[in-house]
């Protein structure tokens, strides 16, 4: 097995038929995918197929619920978290930074997983007018902290330290700062960032989770009290602890997929929306292109043995390669002509010197 280091050479080899399928990098996405999320006419003429899938994963912002300002169960802190959620423009984030490859997440359970509610959260942004009202009710009119008479400062810990990450970091800062609050980015290396989370030394972070198996328990446990990072060292990095949520979780976790289980899950989602320990951002969407000779290609995120189900037509593949990978000889002719001209000019110059 060989791996291409760069995305562009991999894409060119795919176009020439040397790869049966490929993902799509940002550089080529707009060329092959239309605004309606279909395949471009150019690619359709080549007989290619596009496969889209909303992945069983979620990306989100998490508040440190142990923090005295953004955390806790007080109405003031809750409204501050809800305000920040309403100020964030997820559709713009997906359009500007993700080529539109994602579905805004109004909840934490991805589509296709049992219990996915599929409705709209009352705190899904952007709704700046409602956010301003909540900010005032939280005691920070126009984002001003009455204790200091200056804009409220909230720190955003992250490891977005590459040049390619800067547009995303700036977008996040601009969104949360849109109605007066000052967001202070604390950008570090990955190890330091993880240490801060493990020690509970943050106010706001961005994170994500890929489900390991297709059950809602595998994402709902991320906010269960006994999984809190502080003090238990678990995966609940928001350190969220709600007795009612924990009770429902224990009941839901041992149930089969029934209407009663679905009802309990929806109640848990409503608790999370109201308490807002997370700001769900989006469910990632994958795009895969395959050639016409690839059969039985279907995304299977929880399976590792899907190759045995796929079918390849080697005759069609070879025919395509011959048509798309014909050697180009004219550069050799140009080089030969240039060498010949150089030789002639050199001989003439030598004769002139001798005469």
Place of tokens 């700046």: 128
Candidates 307, 287, 284; CA nearest to 297 is 307
Alpha-carbon gap, residue 32 to 354, rounded angstroms: 62
Q: ∠ at Cα 58 (230, 277), nearest 5°?
A: 40
Q: Which of 10-19, 107-116, 126-135, 322-331 has the lowest mean pLDDT?
A: 322-331
256-274: pLDDT as tens digits: 999 999 999 999 999 999 9
Phi-psi region of 89 (alpha: psi -120 to 50; beta: other; left: phi over 0): beta
In three-state secondary structure terms, 311 is strand
213-272: pLDDT as tens digits: 999 999 999 999 999 999 999 999 999 999 999 999 999 999 999 999 999 999 999 999
- Domain borders along the chain are 7-48+291-324, 57-285
Q: ∠ at Cα 297 (295, 300), nearest 5°?
A: 160
Angle of helix 243-253 versus helix 259-275 axis, rounded to 10:
150
Residue 226: both structure tokens together: 């006994």
Q: Give rounded-to-5 percent helix, strand, coil for the chain.
A: 45, 20, 35
pLDDT bracket for residue 328 (50, 70, 90): low
Place of tokens 């350190």: 239
Domain 57-285, CATH = 3.10.105.10
Q: What is the mean pLDDT of the chain?
A: 91
């Amino acid at each position: 097995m060989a791996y291409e280091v760069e995305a562009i050479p991999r894409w060119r080899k795919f176009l020439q038929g040397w790869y049966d399928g490929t993902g799509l990098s940002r550089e080529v996405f707009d060329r092959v995918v239309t605004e309606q999320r279909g395949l471009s006419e150019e690619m359709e003429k080549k007989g290619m197929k596009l496969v889209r899938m909303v992945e069983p994963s979620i990306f989100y912002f998490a508040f440190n619920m142990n923090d005295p300002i953004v955390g806790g169960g007080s109405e003031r802190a809750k409204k501050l978290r809800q305000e920040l959620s309403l100020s964030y423009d997820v559709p713009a984030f997906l359009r500007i930074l993700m080529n539109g490859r994602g579905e805004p997440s109004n909840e934490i359970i991805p589509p296709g997983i049992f219990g996915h509610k599929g409705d709209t959260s009352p705190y899904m942004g952007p709704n700046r007018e409602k956010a301003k009202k909540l900010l005032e009710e939280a005691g920070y009119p126009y984002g001003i902290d009455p204790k200091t008479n200056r804009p409220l400062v909230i720190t955003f810990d992250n490891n977005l330290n590459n040049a390619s990450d800067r547009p995303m970091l700036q977008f996040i800062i601009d969104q949360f700062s849109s109605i007066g609050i000052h967001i202070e980015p604390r950008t570090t290396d990955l190890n330091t960032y993880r240490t801060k989370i493990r020690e509970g030394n943050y106010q706001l972070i961005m994170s994500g989770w890929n489900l390991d198996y297709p059950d809602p328990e595998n994402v709902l446990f991320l906010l269960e009290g006994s999984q809190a990072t502080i003090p238990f060292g678990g995966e609940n990095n928001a350190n969220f602890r709600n007795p009612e949520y924990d009770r429902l979780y224990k009941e839901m976790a041992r149930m089969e997929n029934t209407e009663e289980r679905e009802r309990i899950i929806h109640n848990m989602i409503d608790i999370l929306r109201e308490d807002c320990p997370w700001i769900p951002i989006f469910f990632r969407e994958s795009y895969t292109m395959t050639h016409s000779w690839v059969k039985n290609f279907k995304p299977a995120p929880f399976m590792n043995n899907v190759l045995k189900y796929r079918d390849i037509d080697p005759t069609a593949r070879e025919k395509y390669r011959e048509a798309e990978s014909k050697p180009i000889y004219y550069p050799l002719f140009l080089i030969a002509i240039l060498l010949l001209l150089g030789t002639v000019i050199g001989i003439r110059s030598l004769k002139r010197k001798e005469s």
